[in-house]
């Protein structure tokens, strides 16, 4: 029986690997170990252990690694601390595989620890193109990992260019699409009743937009200005809005502070603020929304399958492969405003299978089950 | 005035960056900060601070990060700890550039810390191909770094394939060749008189071979067997031998232990053991030797310029670009023995400029002096 | 010139050492180095660097050591991380003395690092008696420290019982009293105008009580219930209230969450919430208040000098030496309510000099200036 | 079933807790967890896992915390790192008790982590008096611990003076005496045949002295000079000698280096060097020796029961309670020489039960089995 260890570091991480974890738990050749770390453990960023528990997924190890503060050195320190803790866990459980998800900065800690310990590393969502430190982290992870599960064919080609053995690359689609496919229809008002939001009281009959905009670490000192442009556009729109708190990257404190100040001083706005949703509930809120605005990758990924119009702001997703439902704009309130108006008038787009067909988690586990990876990596010239 | 911070982690590191540090100190636009870390601080692996001091290079910060023990999880932990310490130093000195050397596992800690902190990272000797975890570390560093100083044109092409902006790649050669060029001729016996060796007393009139064989981290449990093959071949050869202790990678304790046992039980052997030489003295010992054996990259790099015959054992340097002076063999005592005999009869090779012409350090600093790097990295398709 | 290094870890720390730092900076035999760490750097717990800056105190080193989360293992981890970072700073600056303040859990990290490095440690406010982990931390610090500056004669006797050399003990009073003495009279409404509070809008003409209640780490799982009793009593009182957010001990997230929920759901309450004040402003708010409630040590210390009536709840300050202005009660809303009523009717008490006369900072520095401490500690039997 | 967790950090630690661990494993009310850390894991300091395994004691968790180098900041860093790792282990296993042994600097890491996490801490060998940082560490541990198992009545009185609740103090004797009592008689030559020594070949018929001298951390820069005095005395004595390598305190590298140099340059000496023995074998070597010299606490403790003459050098054991078999001398070769001569002529002393009667481990476990400790500590005035 092979031991497979999943390391989940955030709410976004979880949605992108959940169906693979469930498939692993159903596979009798695999013993599944789940490590929850980083912002995934923190109330302020949406502790997800209770959501996982409802999904039937127990957490075996917890890695508290987030060092408080809002300077980029803490992204480094947090990752360093995670390496120290994870290496002890890996030494204890001796996994046959470690699965690491996507491209958040803590991810590199997981991949570094496992690869240094000669444990085969499976990396999902490699080969994508974006901005922020994520762009560097993602490709560095690819160069340390042994098996690659890119979401798209185009990403697979990038991984090949990076010198990886084509035999180690499997286009599986993204497990987040599995959840999009499986999530039943539930009205947004009913979804919201299970969460504690603050601000505007959501009105079920009215349409709404969804905003999710994170800090861009490589220009984190501008986080405040960047978010100000979005806020202005949304205020001008005067439409009911659900706004998600940012994740834990450097600059997020500045964003949170600004949103809080806005909330205290603009009592007449129509914005409801929420910390977090379960992956399924997030899909529901996104599906029922008229448009998603910001720079969350769900504005690229899940929204492609759902056909939800999307306005992507700034350079966090710059260069990212995407469907027809996306308009890219600069940090400019009038540009943002115009793009939202255009998307609202366009309405829903046709569903795209660019990021998967809803069977990715199962596919991943079937591949893992049959793998005998080689530890020593060899560069493939193309 | 720009602040440039060099992080040096080992004796090998130092030889490969020394002339660049000296050139930086001579440049009046640059304020040079030197961080010495990892095995570079440890007596057992050749503490190099006194050597640096004689070269006129003061150490500004010391990073004690090596966690004792001989399991690969400690390579991970050591790197994690280095990230924690280095990020504090970078936050304190706010460098305009961080220079990180080559591909040892601690290197990734330097590059991770600086890149997460939006500090432009200059990485030397990227794009080379080898075995061991170094192969993964080197390319991961490339994907996090902003400016690349590969030693060869072929390495530059690999870096381009990795998706780096061609404008960020400068073929500079390797500063270790600068030292090879500058080091005056000194008889080996005179060099050795400045160091405390153990074992066989070196006989000036007799020829000798030089052995330097490190652990291969990706198969570190075989370190003992691998070194046994070399020891057998060297014993059979009955030739005077200078043997260097291994560096600090996982498996090095096993090698050291074995060498110690060999030394205690084979009192009639002709092997002198040394911990360390200054970069110049190492060049002298290598230049005066009849052949270098093992898997040190100096058996590829410095020996190419010197024309010293080289026998490279096993897969640590597998795939590495090399001159005509190198024979690659497997971990097999008779294969090793035959290769050494062949090299001894062939004698010195013609000098090759494959890894530089002796002006690399100066070149690097001139380029840095004129740089205005961009923090946000962008993938270049080829 | 001797190097003296002050390590400040929280808003409370700062108030208790500020006048000593200023006196040190005025002393020409001393070179003053200031390290700011732990919650002292965090916005949510009242980042104090800007306050220090206004006081003319520059921060030389920052130690981000707070690991996010709300379990007691994180108090341990945070302290461990602080030890790692502080030892690097001490090795860099080579202080002749390290000054560590009072008894918060991070304090032990400072004292451990310095004493292991053979640096004379000066510990303030040793020998006091209380509850929470502070009780253990304080005495452990005493046993590692070389010089003791207790606030009171009774505390000095406890330090002697602990086996310390009587010659190493100096009753200096507490520098927090220096600030109490120096702080000019300013109306509370004017003080508040410089801070961002939330909740009830403060009415200048009305009297108010001040609440400051922290988690008790040794029973942190009850934090929520404990605070509930206080909230109920305060609600029943219907008096204008200024409530300070709790510090960063385990259990503080639970308290903060509860206060936030209360605030969202009890819109008619009379409570204004504030994160933090400068030490002087805190004195003003305390001086102008009718009563202080909770378990902050300022309800013992500063309030003794000011004569402000104080109601101390639960066991955090259990056994603490105190003036006549204090009533101790259990976690029981009606007991709390009755004690507040009693205090409100009693009014101001006579000023007590139990914790000092307002010259403590100056005294400390004069003593330090004349010290030649011995590194090897010797147990004194009594 | 209660979970009891023993943390063992060195070879010396193990001998002082082994019989308690075995008694715990035999007790059906207790689930025993063993953590091995620090120098206990390192080959150079006598990895003890294989010895434990032969004793039937499995290691459940390994804590690699020793950071390489020979400066005292690394004792601090090592302890900080241990706190980080141990707190994760304690959070995972949720022990009802943590047992920490004696007074090495890492011990404080164990006690800090557990006490901050509200886990009842049992501390052995508190209340003793000595020099070095051990003196500070030991009493700091007492002030954080909840239950005390001092070896002697006099130590118990010191713990009471330290303000501990008399009900929490149990004089158990020291488990190292259990081993002294149980260890069968085996000739030293037979013992040595199981270990790899270097240097002089032991001659069974000849008498010998045993030397074990560690660095004194509070004057570690003098380690070299201190050991030189002992070496000179031993050389002058010209008696067969078994010399143990020092433990891992700051200064030990200097001692090791000096011993190595001595060995290489004095080929005619009569000193055999050994790294380590199992606790029983150590007792045998000590029992069969004519005198023990140095500053190991076994020269106080085990030698008291055995009646082996002991010469204690310098201030590491200064003030330590001891039997009649001990002569204390300064770092002075002629003083040392005279004391050894005196002890050799005096011969064996009468056995003393000062440190126990050989039933300590069993006693400890019986007490633990019946304990319900209180987490909140309260200072007891005497």
Each residue's pLDDT tens digit, C291-336:
999 999 999 999 999 999 999 999 999 999 999 999 999 999 999 9
Beta carbons within 8 Å of D70's beta carbon, 6+ residues apart:
B43, D250, D251, D252, D253, D254
Write down the pLDDT at residue C347: 96
Contact C67 A69 (CB under 8 A): no
Asked if residue B306 lies in contact with residue B45, where contact means CB atoms within 8 angstroms, the answer is no
Query: How many angstroms separate the CA atoms of D303 and D314, rounded?
Result: 18
Write down the pLDDT at residue D324: 97
Instruction: Give the distance from residue C220's alpha carbon to the nearest chain B alpha carbon, in angstroms.
Output: 29
Q: Tell me which of B24-38, B206-220, C193-207, D41-55 is least confident.
A: D41-55
Please write the tens of the pLDDT for every residue from D288-302: 999 999 999 999 999
Taking an 8 Å Cβ-Cβ cutoff, which residues of chain C contact chain B?
Answer: 61-63, 81, 84-85, 88, 91-92
* B345 exposure class (CB count in 10 Å sphere: 0-12, 13-18, 19+): exposed
H/E stretch holding D198: strand D198-199
Instruction: Give the distance from residue A127's alpha carbon to the nearest chain B alpha carbon, in angstroms.
Output: 10
Q: Are residues C168 and C282 in the same domain?
A: no
Q: Of C382, A273, A140, nearest to B145 (Cα)? A: A140
Asked if residue C250 lies in contact with residue C75, where contact means CB atoms within 8 angstroms, the answer is yes
Query: How many angstroms separate the CA atoms of B145 and B164, rounded?
Result: 9
The number of residues in chain A equals 382
Taking an 8 Å Cβ-Cβ cutoff, which residues of chain D contact chain A?
Answer: 61-63, 81, 84-85, 88, 91-92
Please, which pLDDT band fits residue C268 given cuts at 50, 70 and 90? Answer: confident
Q: Are residues C258 and C144 in the same domain?
A: no
Contact A79 B79 (CB under 8 A): no
Please, which pLDDT band fits residue B172 given cuts at 50, 70 and 90? Answer: very high
Asked if residue D291 lies in contact with residue D311, where contact means CB atoms within 8 angstroms, the answer is yes
Q: Evaluate whether residue D221 is within a structural domain.
A: yes
Asked if residue C228 lies in contact with residue C211, where contact means CB atoms within 8 angstroms, the answer is no
Per-residue tokens: A107: 């991810």
Which of left, alpha, beta for B9 (phi over 0: left; psi -120 to 50: alpha)? Answer: alpha
Query: Above 80 in pLDDT, residue A72?
Result: yes
Tell me, what DSSP letter sits at residue D146? S
Angle formed by the axes of helices D73-93 and A73-93, to 10°?
Answer: 60
CB contacts, 8 Å: D69 with chain B: 41-42, 64, 66
ipTM of the complex: 0.96
User: Residue C69: which of A41, A74, A264 has the nearest Cβ?
Assistant: A41
Instruction: Give the distance from residue D130's alpha carbon to the nearest chain B alpha carbon, in angstroms.
Output: 28
Instruction: Give the distance from residue B246's alpha carbon to the nearest chain D alpha carbon, in angstroms.
Output: 16
Q: Are residues B131 and B220 in the same domain?
A: no
Q: Are residues C135 and C210 in the same domain?
A: no
Instruction: Give the distance from residue A378's alpha carbon to the nearest chain B alpha carbon, in angstroms.
Output: 7
CB contacts, 8 Å: B89 with chain A: none
Q: What is the DSSP string of B146-157?
A: SEEE-SSHHHHH
Please, which pLDDT band fits residue D258 given cuts at 50, 70 and 90? Answer: confident
Q: Are residues A45 and A130 in the same domain?
A: yes
Asked if residue A309 lies in contact with residue A227, where contact means CB atoms within 8 angstroms, the answer is no
Burial C55-85 (b: 16+ CB within 10 A, else e): bebebebbbbbbbbbbbbbbbbbbbbbbbbb
Asked if residue A163 lies in contact with residue A379, where contact means CB atoms within 8 angstroms, the answer is yes
For position C300, which CATH number holds?
3.40.50.2000
Please write the tens of the pLDDT for every residue from B262-305: 887 787 789 999 988 999 999 999 999 999 999 999 999 999 99
Asked if residue D217 lies in contact with residue D108, where contact means CB atoms within 8 angstroms, the answer is no
C327-C15-C35 Cα angle (round to 5): 140
Q: Are residues A18 and A57 in the same domain?
A: yes
Q: Evaluate whether residue B375 is within a structural domain.
A: no
The neighbours of chain B, by the rule of 3 or more Cβ pairs under 8 Å, are A, C, D
Asked if residue D308 lies in contact with residue D326, where contact means CB atoms within 8 angstroms, the answer is no
Query: Above 90 in pLDDT, residue D220?
Result: no
Tell me, what DSSP letter sits at residue B324? T
Asked if residue B343 lies in contact with residue B323, where contact means CB atoms within 8 angstroms, the answer is no
Q: Evaluate whether residue D292 is within a structural domain.
A: yes
Q: Tell me which of A247-261, B145-159, C342-356 is least confident.
A: A247-261
User: Residue B64: which of D65, D67, D253 has the nearest Cβ?
Assistant: D67
Please, which pLDDT band fits residue A295 given cuts at 50, 70 and 90? Answer: very high
Write down the pLDDT at residue A47: 76
Q: Are residues A214 and A317 in the same domain?
A: yes
Please write the tens of the pLDDT for every residue from B232-271: 999 999 999 999 998 878 888 888 888 888 887 787 789 9
Please write the tens of the pLDDT for every residue from D70-110: 899 999 999 999 999 999 999 999 999 999 999 999 999 99
Q: Evaluate whether residue B380 is within a structural domain.
A: no
Q: Are residues B78 and B197 in the same domain?
A: no
Question: Please, what sign has the CA dihedral across residues A196, A198, A204, A206?
Answer: negative
Which of left, alpha, beta for B38 (phi over 0: left; psi -120 to 50: alpha)? Answer: left
Contact D71 C91 (CB under 8 A): yes
Write down the pLDDT at residue B151: 98
The arrangement of strands across the sheet holding D30-37 comes to D61-63, D30-37, D2-8, D97-101, D121-124, D147-149
Query: How many angstroms separate the CA atoms of C307 and C291, rounded?
Result: 10
Q: Which residue of A has its CA nearest to D92?
A: A61
A19-A25-A28 Cα angle (round to 5): 135
Beta carbons within 8 Å of D195's beta carbon, 6+ residues apart:
D274, D275, D276, D277, D281
Taking an 8 Å Cβ-Cβ cutoff, which residues of chain D contact chain B?
Answer: 41-44, 64-71, 73-74, 77, 81, 198, 253, 257, 264
User: Residue B84: which of C61, C62, C84 has the nearest Cβ?
Assistant: C84
Asked if residue B317 lies in contact with residue B279, where contact means CB atoms within 8 angstroms, the answer is no
Per-residue tokens: B265: 């039980």
Q: Are residues B52 and B152 in the same domain?
A: yes
Q: Of D167, D114, D160, D378, nearest to C135 (Cα)? A: D378
Per-residue tokens: A222: 């501008």
The neighbours of chain A, by the rule of 3 or more Cβ pairs under 8 Å, are B, C, D
Q: Of C20, C351, C349, nearest to C181 (Cα)? A: C351
Q: What is the DSSP string of A44-70?
A: GG---HHHHHHTT----EEE---B-SS
CB contacts, 8 Å: B73 with chain A: 87-88, 90-91, 113, 116-117
Query: How many angstroms separate the CA atoms of A265 and C188, rounded?
Result: 23
Q: Of C146, A62, A118, nearest to B74 (Cα)? A: A118
Asked if residue B18 lies in contact with residue B360, where contact means CB atoms within 8 angstroms, the answer is no
Please, which pLDDT band fits residue D173 given cuts at 50, 70 and 90? Answer: very high
Write down the pLDDT at residue D160: 98
CB contacts, 8 Å: A72 with chain B: 116-118
Query: How many angstroms separate the CA atoms of B185 and A122, rounded?
Result: 51
Average pLDDT over every residue of D325-352 = 98
B236-B239-B245 Cα angle (round to 5): 90
Query: Above 80 in pLDDT, residue A333?
Result: yes
> Within its chain, how far is the Cα of D28 from the centroid?
29
Query: Above 80 in pLDDT, residue D29?
Result: yes
CB contacts, 8 Å: C73 with chain A: 64
> Which residues in chain A belong to E strands, given as ranges?
2-8, 30-37, 61-63, 97-101, 121-124, 147-149, 198-199, 209-212, 241-244, 271-274, 291-294, 310-313, 326-329
Query: How many angstroms separate the CA atoms of D352 and D349, rounded?
Result: 9
CB contacts, 8 Å: D61 with chain A: 92
CB contacts, 8 Å: C257 with chain A: 43
H/E stretch holding D63: strand D61-63
Contact A85 D88 (CB under 8 A): yes
Q: Evaluate whether residue D152 is within a structural domain.
A: yes
Q: Are residues A162 and A190 in the same domain?
A: no
Residue of D142, D376, D380 to mutate for C, most C C-beta atoms under 10 A = D376
The number of residues in chain C equals 382
Q: Evaluate whether residue A380 is within a structural domain.
A: no
Residue A191: which domain range? 182-346
Looking up tokens 């490699």 gives A126
H/E stretch holding D244: strand D241-244
Query: How many angstroms separate the CA atoms of D162 and C163, rounded?
Result: 7
How would you classify the pairing of strands D198-199 and D271-274?
A: antiparallel
Per-residue tokens: D168: 């929490």
CB contacts, 8 Å: D74 with chain C: 87
Query: How many angstroms separate the CA atoms of D340 and D233, rounded?
Result: 9
Q: Are residues D159 and D261 in the same domain?
A: no
Query: How many angstroms separate the CA atoms of D301 and D298, rounded?
Result: 5
- Measured from the Cβ of residue D95, the count of other Cβ atoms closer than 10 Å reads 24
In angstroms, the Cα distances linking D364 to B372, C105, D360, D361 are 68, 30, 6, 5
Count: domains in chain C: 2
Q: Evaluate whether residue C375 is within a structural domain.
A: no
- Whole-structure pTM value: 0.96
Q: What is the DSSP string of A179-211?
A: HHHHPPP--HHHHHTTS--EESPP-TTS--EEE
Please write the tens of the pLDDT for every residue from A157-205: 999 999 999 999 999 999 999 999 999 999 999 999 999 888 899 999 9
Q: Which residue of D has its CA nearest to C72?
A: D117
H/E stretch holding D211: strand D209-212
CB contacts, 8 Å: C63 with chain B: 88
Contact C88 D81 (CB under 8 A): no
> Which residues in chain B belong to E strands, given as ranges?
2-8, 30-37, 61-63, 97-101, 121-124, 147-149, 198-199, 209-212, 241-244, 271-274, 291-294, 310-313, 326-329
Highest mean pLDDT among A76-80, B70-74, B272-276: A76-80
Average pLDDT over every residue of C362-379 = 95
Contact A83 B79 (CB under 8 A): yes
CB contacts, 8 Å: A84 with chain D: 81, 84-85
Average pLDDT over every residue of D271-286 = 94
Q: Of A288, A305, A298, nearest to A240 (Cα)? A: A288
- Measured from the Cβ of residue D260, the count of other Cβ atoms closer than 10 Å reads 15
Please, which pLDDT band fits residue D263 given cuts at 50, 70 and 90? Answer: confident
Instruction: Give the distance from residue A337's alpha carbon to the nearest chain B alpha carbon, in angstroms.
Output: 26
Contact A113 B76 (CB under 8 A): yes
In angstroms, the Cα distances linking A160 to A63, A108, A169, B88 are 33, 20, 8, 36
Contact A42 C69 (CB under 8 A): yes
Please, which pLDDT band fits residue D132 given cuts at 50, 70 and 90? Answer: very high
The arrangement of strands across the sheet holding B97-101 comes to B61-63, B30-37, B2-8, B97-101, B121-124, B147-149
Write down the pLDDT at residue D225: 93
> Within its chain, how far is the Cα of C110 from the centroid?
16
Asked if residue B288 lies in contact with residue B187, where contact means CB atoms within 8 angstroms, the answer is yes
Q: Evaluate whether residue B351 is within a structural domain.
A: no
Write down the pLDDT at residue B263: 81
Mean pLDDT of chain A: 95
Contact A116 B79 (CB under 8 A): yes
Q: Are residues D163 and D189 in the same domain?
A: no
Query: How many angstroms separate the CA atoms of A86 and A63, rounded?
Result: 7
């Amino acid at each position: 029986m092979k031991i497979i260890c999943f390391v989940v570091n955030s709410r976004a991480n979880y949605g992108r690997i959940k169906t693979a974890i469930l498939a692993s738990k159903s596979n009798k050749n695999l013993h599944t170990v789940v490590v929850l770390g980083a912002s995934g453990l923190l109330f302020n960023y949406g502790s997800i252990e209770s959501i996982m528990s409802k999904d039937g997924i127990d957490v075996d190890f917890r890695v508290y690694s987030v060092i408080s503060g809002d300077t980029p050195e803490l992204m480094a320190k947090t990752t360093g601390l995670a390496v120290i803790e994870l290496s002890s866990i890996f030494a204890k459980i001796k996994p046959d595989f470690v699965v690491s998800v996507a491209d958040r900065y803590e991810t590199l800690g997981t991949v570094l620890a496992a690869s240094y310990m000669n444990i085969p590393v499976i990396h999902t969502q490699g080969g994508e193109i974006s901005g922020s430190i994520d762009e560097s982290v993602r490709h560095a992870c690819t160069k340390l990992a042994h098996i690659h599960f890119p979401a798209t064919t185009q990403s697979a080609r990038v991984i090949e260019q990076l010198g990886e053995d084509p035999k180690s690359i499997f286009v599986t689609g993204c497990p987040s699409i599995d959840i999009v496919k499986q999530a039943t229809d539930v009205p947004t008002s009913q979804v919201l009743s299970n969460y504690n939001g603050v601000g505007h009281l959501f009105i079920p009959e009215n349409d709404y937009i969804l905003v999710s905009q994170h800090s861009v670490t490589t220009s984190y000192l501008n986080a405040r200005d960047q978010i100000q442009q979005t806020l202005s556009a949304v205020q001008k729109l005067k439409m009911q809005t659900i706004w998600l708190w940012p994740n834990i990257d450097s600059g997020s404190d500045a964003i949170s502070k600004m949103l809080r100040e806005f909330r205290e001083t603009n009592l007449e706005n129509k914005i409801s603020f929420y910390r977090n949703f379960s992956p399924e509930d997030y899909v529901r809120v996104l599906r029922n929304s008229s448009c998603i605005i910001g720079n969350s990758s769900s504005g690229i990924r899940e929204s492609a399958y759902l056909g939800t119009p999307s306005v992507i702001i700034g350079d966090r997703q710059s260069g990212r492969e995407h469907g027809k439902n996306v308009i890219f704009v600069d940090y400019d309130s009038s540009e943002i405003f115009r793009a939202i108006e255009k998307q609202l008038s366009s309405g829903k787009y046709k569903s795209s299978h660019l990021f998967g067909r809803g069977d990715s988690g199962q596919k991943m586990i079937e591949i893992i089950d049959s793998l005998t990876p080689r530890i020593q990596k060899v560069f493939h010239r193309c």
